[in-house]
A and B are shown apart, each in its own frame.
Chain A
Amino acid sequence: MNENWKQAYEEIPVPKEAQERIVAGICQAKREKQLEEQRCPEAGPDIEKRGNRPGTSGGILVLKRTGATAAAAMLAITLLTNVNPTIANAMEQIPVIGAIAKVVTFRNYENQTNNFEARIQVPQVEGGENAEVPVNKSIEEYADALIHQYEEELKASQGEGHYSLTSTYETVHDGERYVSLRINTTLVMAGGTQYVKIFTIDKATGQEISLKDMLGGSADKLDAVSESIKEQMKAQMAADESVTYFLDSDVPEWDFQGLTGEESYYINDAGQLVVAFDEYQVAPGYMGAVEFAIPVEVTGELEG
């Protein structure tokens, strides 16, 4: 056996399509795995998955990966700023954050070892008068889990491979009552990894508020929001051939059936409820992570 032998083998041409087919296989498997998990959210693997990440109580936290491109991940935390005097008085509680919530960088985690690098900004919400802001603990835990994950991967790599983890934050909404803090986390290896997490916290009590709670616990309203999303999907697909959602598709079990009330959401500057889905959840991977802004007529006035 000499080099000629190996070369003869390596000259077997690999069509460009091979990579696409690998990605297709990966995506198909992931999509199916996710559907299985959604069907039985309390099954073993899912619990294990939740255990890997912080702040999972009540909110949804779903892990997704893209086949070919790095996708931005986002964590949006909607804070309920308790500035409504009537409610504040009724609850006999002092607002934790107050009218002006300030989001600042608490610390930065930076590391570069061989081809591994991490840059993680850890924000915190500043309250008035040294007030304890409960959500900071969740934000901190989320960052710690990212850092832990990075350090574990670094340790396991023994200097081999590429790994890049970047996490930044931005305030996407700062209203009278809510502050939405979005944490964008991008993980790049061979492909990209996407985390999507949104949870809503009542700053006065530290309790999380689900999408259903935000809609006043009304199943009718939740249905109305689901219908609005379906209509938007249909309209977008009709207007643009390249747009695809899992709706009225060949595989009915993949189709978007409606909201459970535990989905990720935030409120945008127009005061609209924005429901955010993960990749593959309601559309094929190439569509990325999709969001739907719900008209105010559907949800009713929401406090901003």
Chain B
Amino acid sequence: MRFRNEAETEALLMSHYEQYYRLAYSYVKSEQDALDIVQESAYKAIKGCRKVKEPDYLATWIYRIVVNTSMDHLRKRREEPMEEDILEVHRNAGQPETSFSGQTEDRLVIRELLDRLSTEEKTVIILRYFEEKKIEEIAAITGETVSTVKSRLYRTLRKLKTQLGDRWEESE
């Protein structure tokens, strides 16, 4: 069992690393931090996979590690000066939006909106719509109850809908 868990964990890490990176990046908004998070997550996953009793749970469990590791990074960063974040915002603001097609522009707006969400809101939206996880899986990843996840998801959707206005109706 132990051997299988480790082999399975390694296979998951190698085949899903892009998803883990994007998830981490969505929180920390920094390439270097996201890279640190994926490495740390892979390390924690291989180290701890023996403890996972049910191999079917490994995929969910790895997401949980990535989410928690990202949160840790955010917490640590809050204790440090925010210079990098400010720089990032300015860089984004300076981008020549006119050169993008309408569709690309939409996506930029979407990303910007996503960044305005709290980390908890971001987690449910990313996992539900981009990683296509079931509500039950999301609850297992965040360690919350299904009803908490559900109500947060609907609340967040409503919030996005208000901010997007007409654009939301188009895209729905």
Contact = CB atoms under 8 A, between A and B. Distances in A.
* Real binding pair: yes
B141 interface: no
Contact of B46 (A7, A10, A15, A29): A29
Given A5-B130, A21-B38, A26-B10, A11 B107 contact: yes
Interface in A159-208: 161, 189-191, 193
B42 interface: yes
A65 B7 contact: yes
Contact of A2 (B17, B20, B172): B172
A4 B46 contact: no
A5 B45 CA distance: 29
B74 interface: no
Contacts of B4: 152-153, 156
Interface stretch (B21-29, B83-91, B144-152): B21-29
B16 to A, nearest CB: 9
Given A25-B46, A52-B3, 15 more contacts: A2-B172, A4-B110, A7-B107, A8-B114, A17-B35, A21-B39, A22-B13, A22-B14, A29-B42, A29-B44, A29-B46, A29-B47, A156-B55, A189-B7, A190-B10
B57 to A, nearest CB: 14
Interface residues of B, number: 48
A191 B10 contact: yes
Nearest to A149: B3
B42 A12 contact: no
Given A21-B38, A65-B7, A190-B10, A29 B43 contact: yes
B61 to A, nearest CB: 15
B115 to A, nearest CB: 11
B39 to A, nearest CB: 4
Nearest to A15: B31
Interface in A1-36: 1-2, 4-12, 14-15, 17-19, 21-26, 28-30, 32-33
20 contacts: A1-B172, A4-B171, A8-B110, A8-B114, A9-B114, A10-B130, A14-B18, A14-B21, A18-B21, A19-B17, A21-B35, A25-B40, A25-B42, A29-B43, A65-B7, A67-B10, A153-B4, A156-B4, A190-B13, A190-B15
A7 to B, nearest CB: 6
B71 to A, nearest CB: 18
B119 to A, nearest CB: 16
B2 interface: yes
A49 interface: yes
A45 interface: yes
A26 B171 contact: no
A63 interface: yes
